[in-house]
């Protein structure tokens, strides 16, 4: 049956696959026929993701992407026929500006910015990506427009990532590699649950979403599938906002 969004025959690497958006992305990609390479730090949770996938023949590697040496070792183990990457690994941190220090800035930038940038570098350098590969980076509306207090480090790391996506799209176009981003609003994952918010503040925040709810990991995953598929083979250097209309107000 004709399906322009099919991922049959494609090998897709998903970072942050042990949880939330990364896990949902791996599941949705497997439903579309892809062979998956899963990575994260927590091997038990990666195994749980593996059990949720359709099909077999998937691969799993644990790797701390905040460590450049780990990225190098990880890349060396990968097959050289990768058709797509979903860069989902990320961390958040709620800290007012006066509470910031070099260590927490480094932590957040290492995972949210350096890791996807260096992973891109080493995969391109070691020729692990197929011609026509699609790289999808998970940014955030916090990096573009949804400015909030205590999120300056997180938001800045996502702004930097969004900027990188545009530069990478231009630089890698000659290799027929596409780079795009998805920019979610608040999504119900552990990242959100880890943030302490009173029930009253939560309801006030949800009220700012024109579609009256937060998003689900699957809703982000399906946009990632779209960007990984051949249906978007002429789309590069752009981003899709997935936020129930939050950026409109």
Ligand X SMILES: NC(=O)c1ccc[n+]([C@@H]2O[C@H](COP(=O)([O-])OP(=O)(O)OC[C@H]3O[C@@H](n4cnc5c(N)ncnc54)[C@H](OP(=O)(O)O)[C@@H]3O)[C@@H](O)[C@H]2O)c1
Q: Report the catalytic residues.
A: 154
CB nearer to ligand X: pick between 32 and 220: 220
Q: How far is the CB of 32 from ligand X (least distance, A)?
A: 19
Contact (Cβ atoms closer than 8 angstroms) between residue 249 and residue 243: no
Q: How far is the CB of 8 from ligand X (least distance, A)?
A: 26
Q: 3-state DSSP helix/strand/coil percent for the chain, to nearest 5?
A: 45, 20, 35
Q: How far is the CB of 24 from ligand X (least distance, A)?
A: 8
Opening angle at CA 71, ends 239 and 111, nearest 5: 50
Per CB under 6 A, residues contacting ligand X are 16, 18-22, 40-42, 45, 64-66, 88-92, 111, 138, 140, 184, 186-187, 189-192
Q: Mapped to the 3 state alphabet, what secondary structure does 1-60 carry? A: CCCCCCCCCCEEEEECCCCHHHHHHHHHHHHCCCEEEEEECCHHHHHHHHHHCCCCCCEE
CB nearer to ligand X: pick between 140 and 232: 140
CA dihedral 187, 218, 46, 131 (to 10 degrees): -110
Q: How far is the CB of 169 from ligand X (least distance, A)?
A: 19
Query: Environment class of residue 230 by beta-carbon count within 10 Å: exposed (0-12), middle (13-18) or buried (19+)?
Result: middle
């Amino acid at each position: 049956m004709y399906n322009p969004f099919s991922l049959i025959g494609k090998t897709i690497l998903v970072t942050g696959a042990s949880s939330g958006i990364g896990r949902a992305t791996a599941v949705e990609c497997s439903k579309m026929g892809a062979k998956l390479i899963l990575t994260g730090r927590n091997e038990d949770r990666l195994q749980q993701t593996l059990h949720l996938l359709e099909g077999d023949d998937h691969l799993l590697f644990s790797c701390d992407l905040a460590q450049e040496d780990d990225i190098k070792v990880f890349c060396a183990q990968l097959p050289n026929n990768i058709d797509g990457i979903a860069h989902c690994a990320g961390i958040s941190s709620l800290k007012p500006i006066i509470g910031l220090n070099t260590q927490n800035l480094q932590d957040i930038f290492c995972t949210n910015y350096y890791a996807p940038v260096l992973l891109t570098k080493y995969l391109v350098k070691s020729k692990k990506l197929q011609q026509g590969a699609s790289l999808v980076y998970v940014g955030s509306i916090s990096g573009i427009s949804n400015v909030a207090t205590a999120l300056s480090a997180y938001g800045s790391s996502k702004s930097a990532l969004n900027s990188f996506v545009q530069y990478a799209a231009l630089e890698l176009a000659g290799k027929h590699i596409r780079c795009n981003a998805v920019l979610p609003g608040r999504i119900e994952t552990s990242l959100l649950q880890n943030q302490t918010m009173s029930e009253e503040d939560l309801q006030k925040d949800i009220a700012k979403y024109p579609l009256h709810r937060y998003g689900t990991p699957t809703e982000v995953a399906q946009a990632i599938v779209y960007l990984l598929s051949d249906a978007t083979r002429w789309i590069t250097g752009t981003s899709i906002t997935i936020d129930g209309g939050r950026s409109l107000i």
